[in-house]
């Protein structure tokens, strides 16, 4: 069930043209420059520092509540971090070079890293330092500066958007959760692609560049690695690709042949939401201080616990639930050998396939978590706009505006329906997974209870 929005002539013109993405990117790059400058040179008081406020409150809220659930991985197409590298790589910003030629050293990204494992562990690494990053403008500025420099270097050494596809910690979970989005870029007619040998969508042409995310559009069945940059629409000579508006979460309906790295991402993000909810939103001051005191013995203990919880305990518990489900159904998982529609040749992994239920649940949980602190603190955005450095400026007259928590009483009423929706979605998907693997419904019960426990646990953290 899908509708090709890019067939509307006005929409097509805008999407095929390059000004839309470029102009939004120019804005995000401008904000990014201010973020780095204010982070490094501005006041250390986080709530009056443009860098902290506009990254961890404004952008994060926008990303989690609006962009990812509704536009999938679209942020990546306007993100400032890969932009300078990509422009240098292409030696063009608007008009593409002939043949979609890229000017890089052309090194190949190592095969064993052609997955999102680096992004998984990258996110965990950032999580270890997050109590410090979120509250220190200098650290935020330096971390983002490091990101853009790494992205720049990888753009010139390797090809395309290697950083975004294989390194960026944000890209890891944004990609996995974008499977829930009601938009998708897909081919219209597979037969047309079958008859087209040149695959300019992947190779590039005079009209544009090959997919920066190394996707082959004719094989794309989910949003995970597609930032909707529109390159493939520009290079397809058969006009066989379109932007679709479609049923949310449609990517998850094919439950077989899921990747282990993506599964781990979903599990790790769930664990991270719990850790953040306990450490940052919970009432334990000593825990927060320990989490921020990077380098102290207490922090190493905290880091160890966090890593074990996210990388071992949560995935381990989920794995037990999958195994328990199989025991309950008294039927081992069918080994179909040829794998599912996603990655031919991949052995069926019930664990990875079940882990996909954490996508709707995890997204709901992260939106709920984001709501718990962003709306309360969003009012810092106004003074930070007038006085980004905390140097006493008042550019727009809003520098003295006091902290005003918005709709503080409404937050539980937003969180509860979200979590319920995520829970129901996860359980529905679990039952579907069982059925598609030829398993009786009992096999889905333990993982469903896992999801229920996660929701009840989170509700207890927020509401009890």
Partner 1 sequence: MKRNLFAVMTVLLVLIGLPAGLFGYQAWRTGQLAWAAGVRVVDIVARSPEQGGFAPDHLVLKAGEPVRLRISSPDVVHGLNIPGLGVDVKEILPGRVVEVDIKPEKPGRYAFACTRWCSIDHWRMRGVIEVKADAAHPAAQETQTAPLYQKLGVNLDAVWPMDGPRPAQTPSAERAAAASGGLPESLLDPSQRVATAPADAFRQLRADPAHSQLGDGEIWDQVAWAWLHDVKPETLSMAGSLYSRDCAACHGPQGKGDGPAGRNLPGMQKMDATGDGASPPAGPADFTDPARMLNASDVVLQGKILRGGMGTGMPEFGSLYTDDELWAMVQYIRTFLFQPAGK
Partner 2 sequence: MSRFASRRWVLGAVTLGLVLVALLAPVPLAGPAPQERHISVNARTFEFDPSIVRVNRGDTVLIKLQAEDVVHGLYVDGYDVSTQAEPGRPGELRFVADRAGAFHIRCAVPCGNLHPFMIGKLVVGPNLTWLRAVAASVIAAVGALAALWRP
Q: Work out how close the CB of 361 gets to partner 2 at its nearest, in angstroms, rounded to a whole number.
A: 11
19 vs 406 by CB, closer to partner 2 = 406
Q: Work out how close the CB of 108 gets to partner 2 at its nearest, in angstroms, rounded to a whole number.
A: 43
Per-residue contact string for residues 345-384; x = within reach of partner 1 by CB under 8 A: --------------------------------------x-
Q: How far apart are the first and last CA of the chain?
A: 41
The item of partner 2, partner 1, none sharing an interface with residue 387, based on CB under 5 to 8 Å by kind, is: partner 1
The item of partner 1, partner 2, none sharing an interface with residue 139, based on CB under 5 to 8 Å by kind, is: none
423 is a contact residue toward partner 2 (CB under 8 A): yes
Torsions phi, psi of 244, nearest 5? -110, 145
Q: Which H or E run includes 52?
A: helix 50-52
Q: Work out how close the CB of 324 gets to partner 2 at its nearest, in angstroms, rounded to a whole number.
A: 15
Question: Cα(181)–Cα(187) distance, rounded to whole angstroms?
Answer: 17
Which one of the spans 27-35, 190-198, 220-228, 433-441 is the region binding partner 2 (CB under 8 A)?
A: 433-441
Q: Work out how close the CB of 138 gets to partner 1 at its nearest, in angstroms, rounded to a whole number.
A: 11
125 vs 281 by CB, closer to partner 2 = 281
Q: Which two tokens stand for residue 133?
A: 């990053």
261, 315 Cβ separation under 8 angstroms: no
Residues with Cβ within 8 Å of 81's Cβ and at least 6 positions away in sequence, in order, are 32, 144, 147, 148, 151, 163, 168
**Residue whose C-alpha is closest to residue 307's, from 126, 107, 158:** 126
Helices vs. strands in the chain: H and E counts, helices first: 24, 5
Which residue pairs from 437-442 have beta carbons closer than 8 angstroms and sit at least 24 positions apart in sequence?
437/255, 437/256, 437/333, 437/334, 437/348, 437/350, 437/353, 438/331, 438/334, 439/325, 439/326, 439/329, 439/331, 439/333, 439/334, 440/329, 440/331, 442/325, 442/328, 442/329
Touching partner 2, residues 272-291 (CB under 8 A) = 280-286, 288-289
220 vs 322 by CB, closer to partner 2 = 322
Q: Work out how close the CB of 41 gets to partner 1 at its nearest, in angstroms, rounded to a whole number.
A: 8
Residues with Cβ within 8 Å of 286's Cβ and at least 6 positions away in sequence, in order, are none
Question: Cα(157)–Cα(365) distance, rounded to whole angstroms?
Answer: 38
183 vs 423 by CB, closer to partner 2 = 423
Question: Cα(109)–Cα(165) distance, rounded to whole angstroms?
Answer: 11
From the list 69, 217, 230, 390, which residue makes contact with partner 1 (rule: CB under 8 A)?
390
Q: Alpha carbon of 322 to those of 261, 327, 446: distances in Å?
A: 17, 9, 7
The item of partner 1, partner 2, none sharing an interface with residue 37, based on CB under 5 to 8 Å by kind, is: partner 1
The item of partner 2, partner 1, none sharing an interface with residue 87, based on CB under 5 to 8 Å by kind, is: partner 1
Touching partner 2, residues 403-422 (CB under 8 A) = 403, 405, 408-409, 411-412, 416, 419-420
DSSP tag of 393? -
215 vs 377 by CB, closer to partner 2 = 377
87 is a contact residue toward partner 1 (CB under 8 A): yes
Give the position of tokens 């629409």. 233
The binding site for partner 1 (CB under 8 A) comprises: 22, 26, 29-30, 33-34, 37, 43-49, 84, 87, 92-95, 383, 387-393, 399-400
The binding site for partner 2 (CB under 8 A) comprises: 44-47, 131, 135-136, 280-286, 288-289, 292, 372-373, 376-377, 403, 405, 408-409, 411-412, 416, 419-420, 423-424, 427-428, 431-432, 435, 440-441, 444-445, 448-449, 451-452, 455-456, 459-460, 462-464
């Amino acid at each position: 069930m899908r509708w090709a929005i890019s067939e509307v002539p006005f929409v097509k013109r805008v999407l095929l043209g390059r000004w839309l993405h470029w102009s939004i990117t120019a804005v995000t790059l401008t904000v990014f420059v201010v973020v780095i400058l204010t982070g490094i040179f501005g006041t250390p008081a986080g709530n009056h520092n443009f860098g902290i406020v506009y990254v961890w409150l404004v952008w994060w809220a926008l990303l989690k509540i609006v962009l990812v659930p509704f536009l999938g991985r679209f942020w990546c197409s306007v993100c400032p971090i890969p932009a300078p590298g990509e422009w240098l790589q292409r030696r063009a910003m608007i008009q593409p070079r002939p043949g979609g030629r890229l000017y890089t050293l052309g090194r190949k990204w190592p095969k064993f890293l052609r997955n999102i494992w680096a992004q998984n562990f990258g996110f965990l690494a950032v999580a270890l330092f997050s109590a410090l990053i979120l509250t220190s403008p200098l650290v935020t500025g330096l971390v983002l500066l490091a990101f853009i420099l790494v992205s720049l270097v990888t753009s010139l050494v390797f090809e395309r958007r290697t950083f975004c596809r294989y390194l960026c910690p944000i890209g890891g979970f944004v990609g996995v959760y974008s499977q829930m989005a009601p938009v998708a870029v897909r081919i219209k007619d597979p037969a047309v692609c079958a008859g087209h040998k040149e695959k300019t969508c992947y190779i590039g042409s005079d009209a544009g560049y090959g997919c920066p995310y190394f996707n082959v559009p004719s094989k794309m069945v989910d949003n995970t690695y597609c930032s909707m940059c529109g390159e493939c629409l520009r290079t397809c000579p058969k006009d066989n690709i379109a932007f679709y508006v479609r049923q949310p979460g449609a990517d998850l309906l094919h439950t077989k042949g899921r990747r282990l790295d993506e599964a781990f991402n979903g599990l790790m993000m769930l664990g991270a939401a719990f850790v953040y909810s306990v450490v940052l939103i919970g009432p334990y001051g000593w825990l927060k201080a320990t989490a921020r005191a990077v380098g102290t013995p207490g922090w190493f203990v905290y880091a160890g616990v966090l890593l074990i919880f996210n990388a071992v305990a949560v995935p381990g518990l989920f794995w037990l639930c999958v195994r328990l489900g199989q025991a309950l159904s008294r039927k081992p998982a069918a080994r179909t050998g040829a794998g599912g529609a996603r990655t031919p040749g991949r052995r069926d992994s019930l664990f990875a396939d079940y882990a996909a239920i954490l996508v709707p649940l995890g997204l709901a949980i992260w939106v709920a978590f984001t709501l718990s602190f962003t709306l309360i603190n969003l009012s810092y955005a106004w003074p930070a706009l007038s006085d980004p450095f905390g140097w006493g400026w008042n550019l727009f007259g809003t520098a003295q505006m006091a902290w005003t928590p918005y709709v503080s009483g409404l937050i539980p009423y937003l969180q509860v329906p979200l979590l319920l929706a995520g829970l129901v979605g996860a359980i529905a998907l679990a039952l579907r997974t069982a059925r598609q693997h030829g398993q009786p419904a009992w096999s889905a019960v333990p993982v469903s209870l896992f999801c229920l426990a996660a929701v009840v646990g989170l509700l207890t953290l927020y509401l009890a």
